[in-house]
């Protein structure tokens, strides 16, 4: 199963659906963000499903399936750079900013921002070439949307 997911994500083959690779990469990074504090709460799983459904226009069932696949992929991965490269190469600048918003949304899902979660978002922003100013603005938009001061 992991081999199929890895091939889907990292294959350069024309047979591989670019959209699905982007979805898996984004979902895997979101899973990493949720797990940075040592565990993934049900509220974080729900938030990941919601942001995936909203961003990729998926049904709840499709987003849940994508999350399940991404959790397997993230569990087997030792680095984020492959996911980040897929996102950087496949998303335009506005989508990369939305990716940072999705990460902040997941990081705040359990009501607490852990230092490791914040660090991960900053690292991903750098890897996908989102400047600090834009990443900070994305964070502020998410905080305002969630009613966090």
Sign of the Cα torsion 68, 105, 100, 123 reads negative
How far is it, in rounded angstroms, from Cα 12 to Cα 10?
6
* pLDDT given for residue 24 in this prediction: 95
CATH of residue 77: 1.10.3680.10
| Structural domain boundaries, residue 78 | 2-146
**29 in Cβ contact with 84 (< 8 Å):** yes
Give 10-residue mean pLDDT values along the chain (149 residues): 46 64 96 87 94 96 96 85 95 97 95 91 97 97 92
Which H or E run contains 148? none
Predicted pLDDT of residue 14:
44
Q: DSSP letters of 29-90?
A: HHHHHHHTTSS--HHHHHHHHHHHHHHHT--HHHHHHHHHHHHHHHHH-S-SHHHHHHHHHH
What is the number of domains present in the chain?
Answer: 1
Q: State residue 2's pLDDT score.
A: 41
Residues 102 and 27: their CA atoms lie apart, in Å, by 10
Token pair belonging to 39: 């565990």
Tokens representing residue 83 in the block: 């996911």
Rounded Cα distance between 14 and 43, Å, is 37
Give the pLDDT score at 96: 98
CB atoms within 10 A of CB 33: 28
């Amino acid at each position: 199963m992991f081999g199929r997911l890895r091939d889907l994500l990292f294959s350069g083959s024309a047979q591989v659906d670019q959209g699905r690779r982007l979805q898996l990469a984004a979902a895997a990074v979101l899973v990493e963000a949720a797990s940075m504090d040592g565990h993934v709460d049900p509220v974080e799983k729900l938030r990941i499903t919601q942001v995936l459904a909203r961003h990729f226009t998926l049904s709840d069932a499709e987003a849940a399936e994508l999350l399940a696949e991404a959790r397997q992929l993230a569990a087997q991965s030792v680095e984020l750079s492959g996911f980040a490269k897929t996102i950087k190469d496949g998303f335009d600048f506005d989508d990369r900013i939305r990716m940072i918003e999705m990460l902040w949304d997941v990081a705040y899902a359990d009501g607490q921002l852990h230092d490791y979660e914040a660090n991960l978002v900053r690292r991903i922003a750098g890897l996908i070439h989102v400047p600090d100013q834009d990443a900070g603005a994305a964070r502020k938009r998410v905080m305002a949307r969630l009613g966090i001061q």
